[in-house]
Amino acid sequence: MMFLTGLLLGAGLWFVVRCVIGGFYTVGPSERAVKTSFGRADRIEGASTLSDPVSESLKGEERERYDFPQVRVISPGGPYFKWPWEKIHKVVVATETISMAFDPETPNANQSGQQLEAVTKDQLNTGLTGQIRFRVSERNLYACLFGVKNPLTHVMGYFISILRERIANFSAPPTAAVAVPEMKIGEAAIPNATIGVSINDLRKNLRDLNEHMDRECESSAARYGIVLEASLITGIDPPPEVESALAAINTAYNQVSSDISLAQASADQKLVQSRRAVEIETLKAQAEVEPLRALSQQLIDLKSQGGPGALAAYVRSVRLKLFGQARRAVVEVAHE
């Protein structure tokens, strides 16, 4: 009898500890939780991610594949209570930053997560360095907790595949690619040496590359329940044997560009000086012509207003004035 009583007391004590005291839990400020009952998540009936703005970036053929149910999210706080057949799944929703070369399944890959390799369109094997910022999406916790086994691995693979595809097919925008237009000296053209070199194009357009990655990765929240907030590609490094050749090409091009710029500036300066010289000589000629035009108009007015003898009298007066100023005068004498 005493054994049965002790057994009942022990069972009751275990029930109190396991079900009552052990059934309370809390959710931290940076955490969100989802409750499952016998392995089934507590869902919102009739609601799925397709009716949520998180799926707006999905294409038509992707919407059926990534149709996840909406679950009830337990907000920070507590204590909350759960039964023994219920289980609480917690995730951290704070923004995290990791290297874009990090491999969750093989930490030693990509030089221990330091540099990611990619091939450019001109078959150069480059090393990429940078970071990505991500966080768990509260709008799609089902995909993060139950949709895939390792969401971070899927997201990293998705991001790297898009990045490598972009690197392999990247072409600089026309306005950005031609920093210095081609110039012709006589019949010879001096081309821009950096046009067509993919590494130069990538380095000059890192901002466009990062923005492209942000746009292409918008659907990661609907796919895997993880939001890629930003990609920060900070370095694109070619192999050492290519780096030295590329530096020599850029140095030679910069020298040629500098010489062309100086020659063009000198030519422009001479053109400006020539234009000004022409303007000055034109003004001098106008200054000499204007008095003659004014005198001609005065003579026309004198003839029309003073009669036929007025013009002869004016000419005689001018002659007398000139004779008064002259030291010598040659007078024609009529011969009989």
Contact residues for 53 (Cβ-Cβ < 8 A; gap 6+): 139
Whether 178 shows a pLDDT value over 50: the answer reads no
**pLDDT per residue as tens digits for the range 209-257:** 888 888 888 888 888 889 988 888 888 887 666 666 666 666 777 777 7
- Are 166 and 275 in a shared domain? no
> Domain range for residue 164?
10-170+205-238
- Are 81 and 209 in a shared domain? yes
Total domains, the chain = 2
Do the domain assignments include residue 38?
yes
**pLDDT per residue as tens digits for the range 78-93:** 788 888 888 999 999 9
- Residue 210: CATH number of its domain: 3.30.479.30
- Are 140 and 212 in a shared domain? yes
Contact residues for 125 (Cβ-Cβ < 8 A; gap 6+): 117, 118, 119, 238, 239
Do the domain assignments include residue 55?
yes
Do the domain assignments include residue 191?
no
Which amino acid type is present at position 142? Y
Could you say which DSSP state residue 55 is in? G
Rg of the chain's alpha carbons, rounded to an integer? 44
Cα distance between residue 225 and residue 8, in whole Å = 47
- Are 161 and 38 in a shared domain? yes
Cα distance between residue 164 and residue 146, in whole Å = 28
- Are 154 and 211 in a shared domain? yes
Whether 103 shows a pLDDT value over 70: the answer reads yes
- Are 156 and 110 in a shared domain? yes
- Are 76 and 37 in a shared domain? yes
In the predicted model, what is the mean pLDDT of the chain?
A: 80
- Are 71 and 160 in a shared domain? yes
Which amino acid type is present at position 250? N
Do the domain assignments include residue 209?
yes
